[in-house]
Amino acid sequence: MASHVLNYEVHRRTDLEGRTLYFMIYSGSRRRQHTFFEPSQVPAFEGASAWFAIERDHRGGWTFLRQVEGRFG
């Protein structure tokens, strides 16, 4: 089964002191859960959110490929 590469907006969640706790991708649907990532899984970026080309494999794994300039990168 093939993998899929799509662009996703990744959001940073921080504590009150500004330390990154985790990252997430909003599902855009009330039926689907949001996807969460540990800080070690996401490439460094500035600001509260950034767009990334992300590969999803048939087993449900996520691989960050590169930062892009928006949904259509």
pLDDT of 73 reads 63
The per-residue b/e assignment along 27-45, b for 16 or more CB within 10 angstroms, e otherwise, is: eeeeeeeebeeeeeebeee
Nearest Cα to Cα of residue 39 among 60, 18, 24? 24
Phi and psi, residue 41, nearest 5°: -90, -15
Tokens of 16: 């009150």
Q: What is the pLDDT of residues 37-71, one digit of tens each?
A: 999 999 999 999 999 999 988 888 899 999 999 87
